[in-house]
Structure 1
């Protein structure tokens, strides 16, 4: 497999592979959405099938739920689980304080609900997702379809008083139609370039009528596992203030992700 993966895919793989070391028998685990998180789900499925790991997974999207079932993970709802031991998910950006931008895959609402209902949130990402300041990646906000253009205008007007460099927004599309989330909502992508005060922006956005949730994850992530293209992995624990480095080898016959699209 190592000969087939690009450096960025190797980085995603080793981060995902390292993250499942935190999963223990009997845990209730939140399963993230996105390409890196999907690789993590495959790794967990391998442990379930080959090592007898017993877990219950709470997916953050319909596509993650489908993948989890395919690889043999027992899937339950958050209402059934009530509380989770651990959530493992990806991120579109993270800063030195482990604040995040999420929602590039369109599942930010379920992702935030699941993450905040967990004792611990671990983020897995390649080193390219690390930034000095959040905002280069467009910030997604989930809005209800009713009056979405009015909501968009209100958001752009409000951004004038925020510490951001850009104020344009676009409706996320799926072909010729608006992208629709699992909850039946739309997503506006805010092109801010740089966010000066992410905490303030998150609070202001969520006070607007029509806005369901935003993709800023503030003080939610406890640990980030960063993968590098050469197989190195860093585990950065914000609570313990530690950084642990290791290296994972690639197996040529490992076909865990051979049929997994990005």
Structure 2
């Protein structure tokens, strides 16, 4: 199977995973990116089985609407049962790097609201240590240079993503050469820099389930339980 076929396989697996959970009043959180697009397309087969969706980007919202799936503003929703989204990297603790599509802030917000976060990815995204994929950081435009200098102090090599403006009107810095051995601490440290909106580490709110597409099939991985639970 090629990478595109693996993405389709995990997207289909995600729909199969959530389908038994869908009820007439269910709201599904939907992410952004090529794998999420396949998920939207397959989810449309069940659009009569749930109320609607909350999208993490304008692009995903438009794709949902094209399929006839109602899209709600998050402020109008009091509960999201499941959130399904892709990732740029995932480690065995189901910590993620996301934001290659510049939707990281809205993705992080929807993930925070959802009861269950289901990540869908092909095996090329699986790593032992996060950081091979440049870490996206969304920044207030006037703070871009200040944030970049602070990121250098943390050991990274930030590069301004030219020509990209997020749905929130902000800029993206992609941090290269940052080996992330403690994702939760790194996530917190970067978010403490004045001018940062948020960064693409999903460690404090890791995925609950990872559906990982391999040539042999789709593996279902669960977030490790804390010691003592």
TM-score w.r.t. the length of structure 1 is 0.81
Q: Tell me the C-alpha RMSD between the 2 structures.
A: 1.6
Task: Report how far residue 192 of structure 1 moved.
Answer: 2.5
Of 142, 145, 149 in structure 2, the residue corresponding to residue 149 of structure 1 is: 145
Residue 29 of structure 2 aligns with which residue?
Answer: 30
Task: Report how far residue 183 of structure 1 moved.
Answer: 0.3
Residue 224 of structure 1 aligns with which residue?
Answer: 210
Query: 3-state DSSP class of the match of 2:120?
Result: strand
Residue 172 of structure 2 aligns with which residue?
Answer: 187
The answer on 1:169 being equivalent to 2:158 is yes
Contact 1:126 1:226 in 2 (8 A): yes
Contact 1:206 1:213 in 2 (8 A): yes
Contact 2:6 2:213 in 1 (8 A): yes
Residue 55 of structure 2 aligns with which residue?
Answer: 59
Residue ranges of structure 1 left out of the alignment (5+ in a row): 1-5, 161-166, 242-262
Residue 195 of structure 2 aligns with which residue?
Answer: 210
1:109-136, CA deviations, whole angstroms, 9 ceiling, x for partnerless residues? 0000000100000000001110010000
Q: Which has the higher helix share?
A: 2
Paired with 2:111 and 2:118, the residues of 1 have a C-alpha distance of: 9
Task: Report how far residue 180 of structure 1 moved.
Answer: 0.4
Task: Report how far residue 83 of structure 1 moved.
Answer: 2.3
Query: 3-state DSSP class of the match of 1:173?
Result: coil
Paired with 1:75 and 1:142, the residues of 2 have a C-alpha distance of: 24
The answer on 1:122 being equivalent to 2:114 is no
Residue 14 of structure 1 aligns with which residue?
Answer: 9
Paired with 1:132 and 1:147, the residues of 2 have a C-alpha distance of: 32
1:2-43, CA deviations, whole angstroms, 9 ceiling, x for partnerless residues? xxxx61111100100010121312311111000000100010
Off by >3 Å, runs of 4+ in structure 1: none
Paired with 1:55 and 1:16, the residues of 2 have a C-alpha distance of: 20
Contact 1:31 1:57 in 2 (8 A): yes
Residue ranges of structure 2 left out of the alignment (5+ in a row): none
TM-score w.r.t. the length of structure 2 is 0.92
Residue 199 of structure 1 aligns with which residue?
Answer: 184
> Which one has a bigger Cα radius of gyration?
1
Residue 109 of structure 2 aligns with which residue?
Answer: 113
Contact 1:28 1:56 in 2 (8 A): yes
Paired with 2:225 and 2:69, the residues of 1 have a C-alpha distance of: 31
Query: 3-state DSSP class of the match of 2:49?
Result: coil
